[in-house]
Amino acid sequence: MILCQNALSVELYRWKDENGRIHYSDERPPSQVKVETMNFQVKSYEGPAEIVKYKKLSNTINKELNNTTNNEPGKVSSEILMYSAEWCGVCTRAKNFMNDRGIAYTNLDVDKNKKARREFKKLKGTGVPVILVGSQRMNGFNPDKLMSMIDNN
């Protein structure tokens, strides 16, 4: 199965303030500071979602997470993990679907959470969302396939 992927190019700026602190922003910093422009690409899965078996990673990510975003803030769900990015429309559809149905999940933002990004790389993630249910993995999002994954877990 071939997945169509859209890439979003993100431009970030890096600079030091007068106190020596390093800042990152997607907005242009003050003109009086020396700025380093950082470019990177993250992909979003579009098209038909694909479900594959995968070797389950350790649950260390659950123990390390402090600020999770799911339908019950502060509660980490080890049953459903979703690696996502805030800008990803497919991720937003998946979150809305689960939130609307009261499905507990843990959202791991690969742009904002370094630990989540490391786990995403261990999974050899190339795009978002990646949704894990038990030993099943879905690259992209399809509501019927997600419900099938949950039922078969």
- Predicted pLDDT of residue 18: 81
More confident: 45 or 109: 109
Out of 24-28, 38-42, 137-141, 146-150, pick the least confident: 38-42
Q: What is the mean pLDDT of the chain?
A: 75
d(Cα 21, Cα 66) in Å, to the nearest integer? 24
127: phi then psi, degrees, rounded to nearest 5: -160, 165
- Predicted pLDDT of residue 80: 92
Size of the chain in residues: 153
- Predicted pLDDT of residue 147: 92
d(Cα 14, Cα 67) in Å, to the nearest integer? 24
Nearest alpha carbon to residue 26 among 16, 15, 41, 11: 11
Out of 31-45, 78-92, 106-120, 121-135, pick the least confident: 31-45
Helix, coil or strand: residue 63:
helix
- Predicted pLDDT of residue 21: 81
- Predicted pLDDT of residue 38: 57
Residue 117 has pLDDT above 60, yes or no: yes
Q: 44-151, what's its fold?
A: Glutaredoxin (3.40.30)
Report the first-to-last Cα separation within the chain, whole angstroms.
23
- Predicted pLDDT of residue 57: 52
Residue 86 has pLDDT above 60, yes or no: yes
Residue 128 has pLDDT above 60, yes or no: yes
